[in-house]
Chains A and B, each alone.
Chain A
């Protein structure tokens, strides 16, 4: 399997009004990219949102949050990569939503957008949701027919996200 260490994927989940959206994307630090190839990576691997209306708005939201993810990754420094915390915490709050981030060691990014009025979701819940996503994503990668970097079309992954969204509701 060819997982390029500098590459990354983004997985985004959005949770709103008690419901969830998931998105994955692929990418690396844009500042590194700009010198190598300006138009590489950071594209979504998987996007899912519970109410589908106004989805583009969330696309923008998640897309811009990648800046913060990049920043946080680069801030951690290389020495700490091994023992670092994968969970990035709250990326940034907006008026109505909270955006959380998570990044794997192979720089796959998971982003989750939740409704800020949803008080049931605290840091710990978000953290465990990300862990579940990560496990499921690992299963996807283990599929020999999955080409790393392709959009995720796994049914198992789908159903896991769905169950997560329902649970949150």
Chain B
């Protein structure tokens, strides 16, 4: 007996062993089809009694095991069913002969046998035979089950007769000694008449009867027999058989206690037939009720009735604790015999199964531990595998998952032991997979993604390596790649630097043949291997969706305000809404992306490997919107710190886009890493709105761009900056070219400008582009000259002033425009104004005409270059660096009142002071335009203008202003100002004084006196001219009051008696009316009359 049956369980003791075998050539498929039908008849209720017979079918049974049939009758083959194909009557005798040969093998123990012939038809089949059944084919054989039942009943009859025969052997004849094969030679020459020998024979026979009773369904009887046998054998120290008797006792008790069976699946199957659970619970009863033989009639001698046994009936059955004790005892007896190793092993297995049901794992593990050490003869590799597998299963049964995994792994390794010529890598792989739960290892990387690592990393790593190797040898590189990826992903923290290198090296080797995918791999056995995304290669720490650059950022039109206001609630503020908003904010980001524009997502990545990591094909995974991802390749240095990576893509449609993750190719393995599965990733939201396409403007300027960027306080960002250095007063033309480089037409463009206050707090006016204008432009070109702002006030001329301004181009078009979005492109202007020329002092001198005056300008050149200054056609004045010179310009006086006043409403709002300032400013501008003072730096070829604005004092202004009372003196009807009027001596000369009132009130009346005098050109004015000039009429003129904008005139006449140059001085009489008015208003031109000879 050398082949252990690891599947044995205690219940098997009550079964009858039937071998089903094919004879001749029977296809495996057909055989097993019939075998299956046969084995479905595994229990039979015997006619006329409540006893149940259990059958155990085997299609293979080693004959040497059969030899132990006397020792334990369930090992005895009692029935043989042969299945054969036979198609012609000619073959029939031969087939039948084979059946007999087959019968011979188990002949010594067989109770009965059957031959099932398939395919044969004809007269032979009509002969009624009990041991042969004919079936036309494998399909058409409904009667098989019935036949088997009949067969089993015939077995039962033999069994029952044997049992009765043995049990009621009252003859007192010599009881034969039953013995196991290896004992036979030990008993040669023994005294068969000794008491000791007799007792031994009795004990063994009693045990045998117990077995038969158990098989025949008489549980209680068997218990009694076993008890008696134990007593008998114990007294003669027949240990092997004592062990068997004890085991029989245990088996019967187990059957009694655990009608559900101990054998797991096989046990369960046993009752799946007709028997119901209720029936199963009562199973032990039939034997007890059967009173074919009164157990009381049995005595230790087998003859004498002993009524006391009746009392012990209930006690006969062992308690659960006793079962284990007896098992232990039995095993210890078995262990005394080397040849009984298989028996011992099987007993251990049976005991473990019982203990598993009793949930006594610790005891069970002791039995198993013992079983491990039972040394059978040299086992074949296949047997070893079987043994380890069964050990593993048993450990699993008692809840020792790790131990189970350990043995399963040993079994797997045995499959590919070097001594095996054809290693079974497939089997090895399959077994290795089964060990995974025991090592707390799942092949789903999600289980490892959170928290600390679970399980025993060192052994897990080993197992993964073995899986990789086995799958490679199986010829399934996809599996190897998957396992290796898993190893790398989940065990990264435990791999040494060298191991990291080795693993990645081999991974690359595999993937060049079979790239790693994100597909679910289905294993042959049915389970699937989930994909392993490399979320740790590289590790992503932060994901941030980036807004578009400022110039491309879409903005919502303010006019569509209604859309922005939340319509959900009538409340301006409610804590509930605020809470909801907070939640939404977590997910949604408050900027927008634009369809068709490149959008960016920034990842902060980290390379945990001790070598450079090449990440290829890295792109974004999104949902919600068609998104064209533009993959990037990157190379991260060894153990890099956080490293920013920007992934880009173009949304193709509009809606809400969600960035779910990213994909990479690392070491030839494609990974889709979802952000939800990444531990420790900081993200500021991953959903953003994509709005319809908008045009894109590109700005270019005639001036070079500058690095100097404006930082306006208002927060808007400026995309382009232009910086220019100018001299005060210099003008610079700036051409801005806007080009629509997008695909959408530009429909609206709005330009606004804004001056930023300079750092010294002086706001500068005069920036000419102040009124916004609207323009519709087609995509191509839009250009526009802009005058640079004029320089600051020359109040602090020595240092350079900076001026900053922003030009905003609001534009929109295409579908984005329809949705109410626009874009804002800003151009920052940065002007550094250096001082050029400025006026240190401005004074006036009266000119000869009352309508004119001289303006004296002290001009200072503050540049470092020579420059020339010119004013209104005057000659150029050359100024050296740092030089100051005076320039005199004759100017007409200004009648400032005629200037357009600032608009009425503005005047009302502004206070008088501001009004005055504005007026002054306007005057300054007027004066500047009149003066037109230009400077030129020949060496730099730069020109500019200079302004007197701000320098003009009230006094100077008054001097420059025409009086509101305009006096005209006409001599002979000719207006007379600085020119001399000619007249003849002796002729009366008409003198007319006209007053035009341009002041807002009425003036007058005035009295004027005309005093003629002669200028001797030496400072002496001779007023004593009574004899040279005589008045026609009065020398005093009177003027009436003149209404505003009214006119008045008075007439007189003069008579010159001599030739000569005469001047007329007209002066006012001092009276109250004239005192109210400023003296400059009474500025009458002096009249120069040249009296000529009458003859001339």
Q: Which residues of A contact B (CB under 8 A)?
A: 25, 30-31, 38-44, 47, 55-56, 59-60, 63-64, 66-68, 70-72, 75, 92, 149-150
Name the residue on A nearest B457 (C-beta): A43
Does B801 make an interface contact (CB < 8 A)? no
Name the residue on B nearest A29 (C-beta): B399
Q: How far is the CB of A72 from chain B (nearest CB, A)?
A: 7
**A39 in contact with B441 (CB, 8 Å):** yes
Does B362 make an interface contact (CB < 8 A)? yes
Contacts A30-B401, A43-B452, A43-B454 hold; do A63 and B459 have CB atoms under 8 A apart?
yes
- Which A residues touch B395, using CB under 8 A? 67
Does B455 make an interface contact (CB < 8 A)? yes
Does B365 make an interface contact (CB < 8 A)? yes
Q: Point out which of A43, A67, A72, A75 has the most chain B C-beta atoms below 10 A from its C-beta.
A: A67
**A72 in contact with B454 (CB, 8 Å):** no
Could you say which of A38, A70, A72, A150 contacts B440, with CB atoms under 8 Å apart? A38
Does B166 make an interface contact (CB < 8 A)? no
**A60 in contact with B459 (CB, 8 Å):** yes
**B455 in contact with A67 (CB, 8 Å):** no
**A43 in contact with B442 (CB, 8 Å):** no
Q: How far is the CB of A78 from chain B (nearest CB, A)?
A: 16
**B400 in contact with A67 (CB, 8 Å):** yes
The 5 closest A-B pairs by CB, nearest first: A67-B400, A64-B403, A59-B458, A64-B402, A39-B447
**A71 in contact with B362 (CB, 8 Å):** yes
Does B462 make an interface contact (CB < 8 A)? yes
A30–B401 Cα distance when bound, in Å, is 8
**A71 in contact with B361 (CB, 8 Å):** yes
**A72 in contact with B362 (CB, 8 Å):** yes
Contacts A64-B406, A66-B402 hold; do A42 and B440 have CB atoms under 8 A apart?
yes
- Which B residues touch A25, using CB under 8 A? 456
A68–B440 Cα distance when bound, in Å, is 16
- Which A residues touch B361, using CB under 8 A? 71
Q: Point out which of B369, B442, B453, B458 has the most chain A C-beta atoms below 10 A from its C-beta.
A: B458
The interface bits of chain B over 353-380 (1 if a CB of A lies within 8 angstroms of the residue's CB, else 0) are 0000000011001000100000000000
A63–B454 Cα distance when bound, in Å, is 13
- Which A residues touch B439, using CB under 8 A? 63
Q: Point out which of A64, A70, A71 has the most chain B C-beta atoms below 10 A from its C-beta.
A: A64
Grouping DSSP codes into helix (H, G, I), strand (E, B) and loop, the A interface class, with mixed when no group exceeds half, is helix
Known: A39-B454, A71-B400. 17 other contacts (CB 8 A): A30-B399, A30-B440, A38-B440, A39-B447, A42-B440, A42-B454, A43-B457, A56-B462, A59-B459, A63-B456, A64-B402, A67-B395, A67-B403, A68-B362, A68-B400, A71-B365, A150-B452
Could you say which of B369, B447, B452, B459 contacts A56, with CB atoms under 8 Å apart? B459
A55–B341 Cα distance when bound, in Å, is 34
Does B24 make an interface contact (CB < 8 A)? no
Could you say which of A42, A63, A67, A92 contacts B399, with CB atoms under 8 Å apart? A67
**How many residues of B are in contact with the other chain, CB < 8 A?**
27
Give the contacts of B435-467 with A (CB-CB under 8 A). Answer: 437, 439-442, 447-448, 452-459, 462
Enumerate 26 A-B pairs (CB-CB under 8 Å) in ascending A order. A39-B440, A39-B447, A39-B454, A41-B440, A42-B454, A43-B440, A43-B452, A43-B454, A43-B455, A44-B457, A44-B458, A47-B458, A55-B458, A56-B459, A59-B462, A63-B402, A63-B459, A64-B402, A66-B402, A67-B365, A67-B402, A67-B403, A68-B362, A71-B361, A71-B400, A92-B369
- Which B residues touch A71, using CB under 8 A? 361-362, 365, 399-400
A149–B401 Cα distance when bound, in Å, is 23
**B455 in contact with A39 (CB, 8 Å):** yes
Q: How far is the CB of B348 from chain A (nearest CB, A)?
A: 16
Q: How far is the CB of A11 from chain B (nearest CB, A)?
A: 13
- Which A residues touch B365, using CB under 8 A? 67-68, 71, 92
Q: How far is the CB of B529 from chain A (nearest CB, A)?
A: 16
Q: Point out which of B395, B403, B437 has the most chain A C-beta atoms below 10 A from its C-beta.
A: B403
- Which A residues touch B362, using CB under 8 A? 68, 71-72, 75
Name the residue on A nearest B395 (C-beta): A67
Contacts A67-B399, A71-B399 hold; do A56 and B455 have CB atoms under 8 A apart?
no
Give the contacts of B373-403 with A (CB-CB under 8 A). Answer: 395, 399-403
A5–B439 Cα distance when bound, in Å, is 23
Q: Point out which of A40, A43, A75 has the most chain B C-beta atoms below 10 A from its C-beta.
A: A43
- Which B residues touch A72, using CB under 8 A? 362
Q: How far is the CB of A159 from chain B (nearest CB, A)?
A: 23
- Which B residues touch A31, using CB under 8 A? 399
Contacts A56-B459, A71-B362 hold; do A43 and B400 have CB atoms under 8 A apart?
no
- Which A residues touch B440, using CB under 8 A? 30, 38-43
Q: How far is the CB of A68 from chain B (nearest CB, A)?
A: 7
Name the residue on A nearest B373 (C-beta): A95
The interface bits of chain B over 901-919 (1 if a CB of A lies within 8 angstroms of the residue's CB, else 0) are 0000000000000000000
Q: How far is the CB of B411 from chain A (nearest CB, A)?
A: 14
**B458 in contact with A56 (CB, 8 Å):** yes
Name the residue on B nearest A151 (C-beta): B452
- Which A residues touch B459, using CB under 8 A? 56, 59-60, 63
**B399 in contact with A59 (CB, 8 Å):** no
A149–B453 Cα distance when bound, in Å, is 10
Contacts A56-B458, A71-B362 hold; do A149 and B403 have CB atoms under 8 A apart?
no
A31–B401 Cα distance when bound, in Å, is 9
Name the residue on A nearest B366 (C-beta): A92
- Which B residues touch A44, using CB under 8 A? 456-458
A38–B399 Cα distance when bound, in Å, is 14
- Which A residues touch B452, using CB under 8 A? 43, 149-150
- Which A residues touch B453, using CB under 8 A? 43
The interface bits of chain B over 936-959 (1 if a CB of A lies within 8 angstroms of the residue's CB, else 0) are 000000000000000000000000
Name the residue on B nearest A93 (C-beta): B369
Name the residue on A nearest B440 (C-beta): A39
- Which B residues touch A42, using CB under 8 A? 440, 454-456
- Which A residues touch B447, using CB under 8 A? 38-39
Could you say which of B369, B400, B441, B454 contacts A40, with CB atoms under 8 Å apart? B454
**B401 in contact with A67 (CB, 8 Å):** yes
A64–B402 Cα distance when bound, in Å, is 5
Q: How far is the CB of A36 from chain B (nearest CB, A)?
A: 12
- Which B residues touch A75, using CB under 8 A? 362
Name the residue on B nearest A70 (C-beta): B399
- Which A residues touch B401, using CB under 8 A? 30, 67
**A38 in contact with B402 (CB, 8 Å):** no
Give the contacts of B643-668 with A (CB-CB under 8 A). Answer: none
- Which A residues touch B448, using CB under 8 A? 39
A66–B438 Cα distance when bound, in Å, is 11
Q: How far is the CB of A1 from chain B (nearest CB, A)?
A: 16
A149–B447 Cα distance when bound, in Å, is 17
Q: How far is the CB of B754 from chain A (nearest CB, A)?
A: 56
Q: Point out which of A42, A60, A72, A150 has the most chain B C-beta atoms below 10 A from its C-beta.
A: A60
- Which A residues touch B454, using CB under 8 A? 39-43
- Which A residues touch B441, using CB under 8 A? 39
